[in-house]
Structure 1
Amino acid sequence: METVNSSQAHVGFGGKIRTARLVGRRVRFLMDFEDESGPFTAHTNNTGTMLGLLRRGSEALLSVSDAPGRKYACTVEALRLRGCREDFWVGVNTSLPTRMLRAAWEAGLLPDCEGYTQFTAEPRFAGGRLDARLSGPGGELLVETKNVTLVEECVAQFPDAPTERGRKHLVELTRLRQAGTRAALFFAVQRPDGECFGPADVVDPEYGELLRQAVAAGVEVWPFVVDVAEDGYRLGRRLTLAL
């Protein structure tokens, strides 16, 4: 269940949480774990590389679903990473950014979204779907959301793997903005150690170039830290943009 209070946007896990130790990633959507009950497999919706996170023995948070017909009851929510000063959770659930965007909008914590009274998920565009449309007296605002798990030299970066889909979204947002529609990218940085945000040029240089072109065209970029804890996710501080 997603909850919002007046001072902070909070998104819960929606069910029970199970902790376990990472054994490894089996295939794209499956990861193996173990706990006191023995080995088991969980689903992950993160198709990126999760660069630097997949360390055998790392602690993990998994949400447990009782939905009938699911082959794997657990979904990977976060992995524990050892930092220079302390360990911290890194959220890897890629469904979180759009949910957090909506929770933050409902809580009135996004000044960029003032004047919009309606939130529509997954609006269509010519080549597929974006993540959100906000509308109201302020007009129309199209937003694509992305999950960020990579930090290098204190810079939170996206993507962690070459992303054709992400590049297509940048092209579409740029086209929309050039046609007069307000457009934005919401980057949910699900770890606390980034001091600013920029594109991962080493991973996908074309994405970096398209992001710079989008910003030059007027597409807005909103990078926010999302604090991950054992009771869910909370909107944290906004990061500066480093292009």
Structure 2
Amino acid sequence: MPVWSPALQFPPLVEGRFIKRLNRFAALVDVEKREYLAHVPNSGRMGELLVPGYRVLLNPAPAGSTRKTAYDLALVDTGDALSSADARLPNKLVAEAIAEGRLPQFAGYPAVRPESTFGESRLDFLLEGPEGSCYVETKSVTLVEDGVGLFPDAPTLRGVKHLHSLMAAMDEGHRAGVIFVIQRADVETFAPHDEADPLLGKTLRTAATGGVEVWAYRCRVDERSITLADEIPVRL
């Protein structure tokens, strides 16, 4: 089902080459044969993206900034696809799509509250309307193998906790769902990555069986923008 939400525009990006990751949030990149520190806005392993020599598109730090990193890592070119590396974007894409009425499953909820706490979790959205309340969590996906988007790429107890919170919300009479946003276009279906985190896969299947709704969307990505493009099948 097509969505084609309004594109999030990137500022002018600088081309470079990935050298190596230094820690969860920092990497070394080459720009015009000079090495710079870049902020990695994603705590996932992203082993399929953070490959030495891959072309990267970088967002320069603001002029006059005193931060240690000269750039933010924005996009990675794998040779087959351009992928966003920024785990913050799915929330923005989903929020805009909801606001524009492009996700029909949420048409009955005119009020949207971001980062709403339920139990021990801070979930990304609480939607409210005449039909009641709906808690929604979004997850960023960058790993694609043979056309299948996979989440997570490493064990995530936080992700498991979010799913338990969604199930608890269901138990209290609320609607609940999780949206997996694959930040690249070369994907046809989505599935939990059992090899990386069997507990997450088991919990997701239990949640879905109990009524938690599961959606997956792929993105259209170019060097100027990223767009939530269309829904793809979920294989549980």
Q: TM-score range by the shorter chain?
A: over 0.9
1:122 alignment partner, SS class: strand
Partner Cα distance (1:22, 1:112) in 2: 39
Aligned to 2:35: 39
Partner Cα distance (1:39, 1:7) in 2: 37
Aligned to 1:205: 198
* AA partner of residue 84 (structure 2): G
**Is the Cα–Cα contact under 8 Å of residues 12 and 224 in structure 2 kept in the other structure?**
no
2:109 alignment partner, SS class: coil
Q: Percent identity?
A: 36
Aligned to 1:173: 166
Deviation at 1:117, TM superposition (A): 1.3
1:123 alignment partner, SS class: strand
Partner Cα distance (2:219, 2:184) in 1: 7
Q: Determine if the alignment matches structure 1 residue 71 to structure 2 residue 64.
A: no
- Return the TM-score normalized by structure 1: 0.90
Which aligned pairs between 1:21-100 and structure 2 lie closer than 5 A? 21-36=17-32, 38-66=34-62, 68-83=65-80, 88-100=81-93
Unaligned stretches of 5+ in structure 1?
1-5
**Is the Cα–Cα contact under 8 Å of residues 37 and 68 in structure 2 kept in the other structure?**
no
Deviation at 1:51, TM superposition (A): 2.5
Deviation at 1:7, TM superposition (A): 5.8
Aligned to 1:3: none
Deviation at 1:165, TM superposition (A): 0.4
- In structure 2, relative to structure 1, the CA distance for the partners of 1:225 and 1:73 (3 Å cut) is same
Unaligned stretches of 5+ in structure 2?
none
How many correspondences in the alignment? 233
* AA partner of residue 199 (structure 2): E
Deviation at 1:103, TM superposition (A): 1.0
**Is the Cα–Cα contact under 8 Å of residues 16 and 63 in structure 1 kept in the other structure?**
yes
Partner Cα distance (1:69, 1:124) in 2: 33
Moved over 4 A (4+): none
After superposition, the CA RMSD in angstroms is 1.7
Partner Cα distance (2:141, 2:54) in 1: 19
